[in-house]
Structure 1
Amino acid sequence: MTTRIDRRFAALTKAARPALVTFVTAGDPDHETSLSILRALPAAGADLIEIGMPFSDPMADGPAIQAAGLRALKSGQTLKRTLAMVRAFRAGDDETPIVLMGYYNPIYSYGNARFLADAKEAGVDGLIVVDLPPEEDEELCLPAIRAGLNFIRLATPTTDDRRLPAVLANTSGFLYYVSIAGITGTAAPDTTAVADAVTRIKDHTGLPICVGFGVKTPNQAAAIGRVADGVVIGSALVEAIRTSLDEAGRATEGTVPAVTGLVRSLAEGVRAARQIAAE
């Protein structure tokens, strides 16, 4: 079955350019503002959207995304409201792929079968669950695939050629390559090392490879876009939200434009990546 993610990457391949994948936390800084940001992302240049599912113990996330999750939880965001947000987004956009990213605990608490049914009905296209290894595929990965959702796995600089087949076994949509060891948003990626890793992984799979963690500027996005099929931006967007808030932590008139303005500049960098490489 062809998914929105498959169709989007097929179109990008035809256009000979990498994807800009944007990450925002659902409900940050509040539900309505978060939905407004979500709706504005495609026009600003986002090709795929990852939505973080807020969780109280986000062990792989750096300070920026941890703080976003806490703001969202404080504002009353729940997994049910996150799915409602996707449903509201789909009312005006039936093309842009949506991937939910986060941890297994909220899904488990919601109920796996119920979650997968509700996610599919809401218009979710894929899942990234960072704390479920391939050895646990029967738990959620395989049921998600049967429900028609892509299950997207992470590979890291420590994922060697012996481990890679297990990581890729039930992965679909794309592979998310974590460009640095450690938590999100804490260091800049080494483009040469990323290029070597992408080349090595492509010997094992025909899936698109998107690279994230540490990409913050248009120049970094362009550099990664020259060697990868997609560039994931997360912490920089979450920081743009934070710095736009008032002293009480509430959204201002500048919150949505702060995010969309940054996305536009990052999109320009990503779109220029292959042009620069061809010159």
Structure 2
Amino acid sequence: MSSRVAAAIEAARADGRGAFVGYLPLGFPDLETSIEAAVTLAENGADVLELGPPYSDPVMDGVVIQEATQAALAAGFRMRDTFTAVREITRRVDVPVLVMTYWNPVVQYGVDRYADDLAAAGGAGLITPDITPEAAGEWIAASIRTGLDRVFLAAPTSTDERLDLIVRNSTGFVYTVSTMGITGERAQLDAAARTLVARLREHGVDHACVGIGISNAEQVSGVLDYADGAIVGTALVRALRDGGLDGLAETARALAAGTGRAA
């Protein structure tokens, strides 16, 4: 099966621009509003949606996202709500929806069951920040069976052998981590991201999207000089928290302007 995520990135490229990948936590500030927020993001320039079910031990997340996920858990978010949300969002917008999840909840739910339920809900695949391809055999098999995308992470510290493994096993895109450490905004994006994307190209990557630290249109534009997509999370979560759906829409449009799309 062809990748809907790759197709969205290719469609952006055909428009003469890079892709805007937008992240939001599910269940924040509540489930219904998080669904509306994802739809709002899709309607205001996001080419791919990246939705994060809240997790009790979010080792990769910065403080803004951690606070949002803790609020979602406190509001009673349950694993099954992930599939409810994805189903509703994909019913309303054509933008592909990736779920970014830590691996433990998938194992607890059952890898095959998770893949089946995500595919049935219209989801496009999983971003798995804390599992590497060599440990993901069960997920790779389930994703091939269901046609879901597998997005693995590459970091500046990854060896050439690891990058080769990541490129060979990822579909949709490779999530290229621009800086080591937790998510959040950075005044200057690490030059390591540019070097890492160049290394991924040497290993034959089709699509590399850069995330962690991108918070404005200028940074989006800078990343898209060398990458296929820019991933934004913290800036969108803050906009939703501080300005509601209207604030989120305004911020999304501003970020999308950095992709080369007319403002």
TM range (shorter): over 0.9
Structure 2 distance, partners of 1:73, 1:57, is: 11
Counterpart code for 1:170: N
SS in 1 for 2:46: coil
Residue pair 1:165, 1:204 contacting (<8 A) in 2 also: yes
Alpha-carbon shift at residue 214 of structure 1 (Å):
0.5
Alpha-carbon shift at residue 262 of structure 1 (Å):
0.3
SS in 2 for 1:73: helix
Alpha-carbon shift at residue 13 of structure 1 (Å):
2.3
Counterpart code for 2:111: N
Counterpart code for 1:45: G
SS in 2 for 1:270: coil
* Match of residue 109 from structure 1: 108
1:169 to 2:161 alignment: no
* Match of residue 50 from structure 2: 50
* Match of residue 96 from structure 2: 97
Residue pair 1:189, 1:213 contacting (<8 A) in 2 also: no
Alpha-carbon shift at residue 189 of structure 1 (Å):
4.7
Counterpart code for 2:168: A
1:265 to 2:215 alignment: no
Alpha-carbon shift at residue 186 of structure 1 (Å):
5.2
SS in 2 for 1:135: helix
Counterpart code for 1:154: L
Residue pair 1:142, 1:170 contacting (<8 A) in 2 also: no
* Match of residue 157 from structure 1: 156
Structure 1 distance, partners of 2:178, 2:168, is: 21
Counterpart code for 1:4: R
Residue pair 1:180, 1:187 contacting (<8 A) in 2 also: no
Structure 2 distance, partners of 1:206, 1:182, is: 23
Counterpart code for 1:262: T
Indicate how the Cα distance of structure 1 residues 169 and 3 shifts in structure 2: closer, same or farther if over 3 A, else same.
closer
SS in 1 for 2:23: strand
Question: Over residues 141-169 of structure 1, what are the superposed CA-to-partner deviations in whole Å (9 max), with x where a residue is unaligned?
Answer: 33222211010010011113232112222
What TM-score results when the alignment is normalised by the length of structure 2?
Answer: 0.94
Question: Over residues 171-224 of structure 1, what are the superposed CA-to-partner deviations in whole Å (9 max), with x where a residue is unaligned?
Answer: 111011000011111534536432222122111123211001010111111111
* Match of residue 148 from structure 1: 147
Structure 2 distance, partners of 1:256, 1:17, is: 25
* Match of residue 10 from structure 2: 10
Alpha-carbon shift at residue 113 of structure 1 (Å):
1.6
Counterpart code for 1:144: S
User: In angstroms, what is the RMSD of aligned CA positions?
Assistant: 1.6
What TM-score results when the alignment is normalised by the length of structure 1?
Answer: 0.89
Residue pair 2:53, 2:100 contacting (<8 A) in 1 also: yes
Question: How is 1:55-134 mapped onto 2 (pairs within 5 angstroms)?
Answer: 55-93=55-93, 95-134=94-133
Structure 2 distance, partners of 1:189, 1:150, is: 30
The range that moved more, 179-188 or 46-55, is: 179-188
1:220 to 2:219 alignment: yes
Counterpart code for 2:129: V
SS in 2 for 1:185: coil
1:208 to 2:207 alignment: yes
Residue pair 2:40, 2:249 contacting (<8 A) in 1 also: yes
The answer for unaligned runs of 5 or more in structure 2 is none
Q: Which structure has the larger Rg over C-alpha atoms?
A: 1
Residue pair 2:16, 2:260 contacting (<8 A) in 1 also: no
Alpha-carbon shift at residue 32 of structure 1 (Å):
1.1
Counterpart code for 1:59: V
* Match of residue 40 from structure 2: 40
